Structure 1
Amino acid sequence: MSSSFERYQKRRLISSYFSVVISIALVLFLLGILGLLMLNAKKVADLFKEQVTVTIYLKDSAKDVEVKQLEKSLALADYVKSTTYVSKEQAAESMKEENGDDFMEFLGFNPLWNNIDVNLKADYLTSEKLEELAASVSEKSFVEEVKYDKDLVSLMNSRVKKISFWVLLLSAIFTLIAVLLINSSIRLSVYAKRFTIKTMQMVGATKRFIRKPFVWKSIKLGVIGAILAIIALGFIVYYIDQAFPELQLRQSPLLIGGLFLLVFILGIVITWISTHIATQRFLNLKTDQLY
């Protein structure tokens, strides 16, 4: 009979530990996902910003030397990411592929201009910088016109700021929820042993002596949960890197490694603090308050 009861208690204990580990792993995994989002939010925003193109239309009278000199000076500028020369023939061919018909057959000539497409680095994509670039390039006698989408640039910059704010706010909220969830799981685990805690206290054991095995056990569970969360995050990082290679996640091993280390440390710190608080609470209760 006693052995059957002991087996039941052992199964119950293992089940309790298992649920705590899974809870910790899931919560840390969600925190890791949020961390990935925060680390790559700027990268994603920068990718969109760098797709904005400033088109410099060139007069037919422009000399090759002048065009090449302008393109080279732009390519060497520290605020420019890339430059691409597009001839009027290439532009006509692209329009033909997009629209499916040859407009030159109808018109009898090519009305398009040679142009240089310029993409700025994300940090420099501001209305002020674009106006400055447009003004300086327009001074060239062989430049016909400089065009870019002003409204899109203004909208993009304002939206990026709003999204960054909400990502930070959501991260703070989810971090608080994560701490509360792990704390709740640990408290339930300690609650199941409240009578053992009080019995040890009644026979003269110090609070530190009673608390120590509970803290170490929770830290071990936190470590296991953190390792499971890191493994899951590793798969997510690999999948995102395969699906969106432009983010270059695996090209930033220090950032990813730092995130994994943070998840591991959080697993230890949160479980340690939660267990310390939970055991202290039951140590301070009177015997009749345990029921």
Structure 2
Amino acid sequence: MATSFDSFQKRRLRSSYASVVISIALVLFMIGILGLVLLKSTKVANHFKEEVVMSLFLKDDVTKEKTKGLRESLLKEEFTKKIYFISKEDAAKVYSKDLGEDFLQFLGDNPLKNGIDLYLKAEYVTPEKMDELKQRFNKNAFIDDVSYNKPLVEQLTKNIQRISFWLLVLSGFFSLVAIILINSSIRLSIYAKRFNIKTMQMVGATKSFIRRPFIWQSIKLGFIAAIIALIGLAFIVYYLDKYIPTLDLIKDYLSLGYVVGGVILISFLITWLSTFFATQRFLNLQTNDLYY
């Protein structure tokens, strides 16, 4: 009879552990997906920002040597992502192609100017910083005019700020849900052992001694759940990279490293804190209160 009861208790304990692992794994999987979305959204936003071009039109009397010196100085600037020199002849060919006819035949002379297309780093593509750069370039003796699509930059900045705000709200909400769900799962597993906790306390065991095995057990369950969540994320990353290769997920080792490290760290912190406070609660209860 005792053997049958012990077997039943072991099955019940394994079932409890399995439910805790599955609950934590699902929550960590959700957090991992959200982390990927946040990291890739930043990269996508930066990609679009760095495609905005600022055109610097040079004065007609600027020589090749001066142009070369200007290009070299621009490449040394911290705001420069890349630059392209476009001669007036190349610009005329592009315009003629867009118009569908050679406009130089009517004008006789090329009114266009040599120019430099300047692509900025993402953090400098804001209305304020681009306006500052425009004012700075307008004071340059070699530059005749500066042009960029200001409405596009303003709209791009506004949309990115709006999306970033809602992503942060969403991540905050999911983080709160994750903490509540993991905490509830661990509290339920410890609730089943509340009498064992009180018995150990009554025979003289210290609170830290009682807590220690529960904390280590929860951390191990959390680590197993993190491994399961990461395996699920690996499948998601593989299929996304297969069907949407432009995201370049598999080769983005930095983002993947952040996600893996974040999932493991979160599993450790939440399981440790939840177990600590759950055991502390039962340690502070009176024996009669354990039945409620």
TM-score calculated relative to the size of structure 2: 0.74
1:159: Cα distance to partner? 3.9
Do the aligned partners of 2:201 and 2:210 also contact (CA within 8 Å) in 1? no
Aligned length: 285
1:36: Cα distance to partner? 4.3
Do the aligned partners of 1:138 and 1:146 also contact (CA within 8 Å) in 2? yes
> For residue 244 of structure 1, what is the aligned residue in structure 2?
247
Partner Cα separation in structure 1 for residue 6 and residue 155 of structure 2? 66
User: Which ranges of structure 1 fall in alignment gaps of 5 or more residues?
Assistant: none
Letter matched to residue 220 of structure 1: K
Partner Cα separation in structure 2 for residue 258 and residue 140 of structure 1? 43
1:228: Cα distance to partner? 2.6
Task: Report the CA distance shift for 1:105/1:134 in structure 2 as closer, same or farther (over 3 A).
Answer: closer
Do the aligned partners of 1:58 and 1:113 also contact (CA within 8 Å) in 2? yes
- 1:105-148 CA deviation, whole Å, 9 max, x = no partner? 89656776543211122233343443344345446677554211
Partner Cα separation in structure 2 for residue 216 and residue 135 of structure 1? 61
User: Which ranges of structure 2 fall in alignment gaps of 5 or more residues?
Assistant: none
Q: Give percent identity, aligned residues only.
A: 46
Are 2:36 and 1:11 aligned? Answer: no
Partner Cα separation in structure 1 for residue 237 and residue 171 of structure 2? 19
Partner Cα separation in structure 1 for residue 271 and residue 77 of structure 2? 52
> For residue 146 of structure 2, what is the aligned residue in structure 1?
146
Partner Cα separation in structure 2 for residue 246 and residue 117 of structure 1? 30
Task: Report the CA distance shift for 1:5/1:279 in structure 2 as closer, same or farther (over 3 A).
Answer: same
- Which of residues 102, 105, 109 in structure 2 aligns to 1:104? 102
1:221: Cα distance to partner? 0.6
Partner of 1:172, secondary structure, is: helix
Partner Cα separation in structure 2 for residue 89 and residue 159 of structure 1? 37
Task: Report the CA distance shift for 1:213/1:148 in structure 2 as closer, same or farther (over 3 A).
Answer: same
- 1:44-85 CA deviation, whole Å, 9 max, x = no partner? 433222111012345677644444343333333332221112
Letter matched to residue 83 of structure 1: I
Greater alpha carbon shift after TM alignment, 177-186 vs 56-65: 56-65
Task: Report the CA distance shift for 1:234/1:147 in structure 2 as closer, same or farther (over 3 A).
Answer: same
Task: Report the CA distance shift for 1:257/1:58 in structure 2 as closer, same or farther (over 3 A).
Answer: closer
RMSD (Å) for aligned C-alpha atoms: 4.0
> For residue 203 of structure 2, what is the aligned residue in structure 1?
204
Greater alpha carbon shift after TM alignment, 188-197 vs 219-228: 188-197
Greater alpha carbon shift after TM alignment, 109-118 vs 174-183: 109-118
Greater alpha carbon shift after TM alignment, 17-26 vs 213-222: 213-222
1:18: Cα distance to partner? 1.4
Letter matched to residue 193 of structure 2: K
1:9: Cα distance to partner? 4.0
Task: Report the CA distance shift for 1:222/1:247 in structure 2 as closer, same or farther (over 3 A).
Answer: closer
Letter matched to residue 206 of structure 1: A
Task: Report the CA distance shift for 1:246/1:80 in structure 2 as closer, same or farther (over 3 A).
Answer: farther
Q: How does 1:193-272 map onto structure 2 within 5 Å?
A: 193-197=193-197, 200=199, 204=203, 206=205, 208=207, 210-233=210-233, 243-245=246-248, 249-250=252-253, 252=254, 257=257, 260-272=260-272
Partner Cα separation in structure 1 for residue 281 and residue 261 of structure 2? 30
Partner Cα separation in structure 2 for residue 247 and residue 96 of structure 1? 42
Q: How does 1:1-291 map onto structure 2 within 5 Å?
A: 6-39=6-39, 42-58=42-58, 63-88=63-88, 90-91=90-91, 94=94, 102-104=100-102, 113-138=113-138, 145-197=145-197, 200=199, 204=203, 206=205, 208=207, 210-233=210-233, 243-245=246-248, 249-250=252-253, 252=254, 257=257, 260-283=260-283, 284-287=285-288, 290=291
Task: Report the CA distance shift for 1:232/1:111 in structure 2 as closer, same or farther (over 3 A).
Answer: farther
Task: Report the CA distance shift for 1:96/1:21 in structure 2 as closer, same or farther (over 3 A).
Answer: farther
Letter matched to residue 74 of structure 1: L
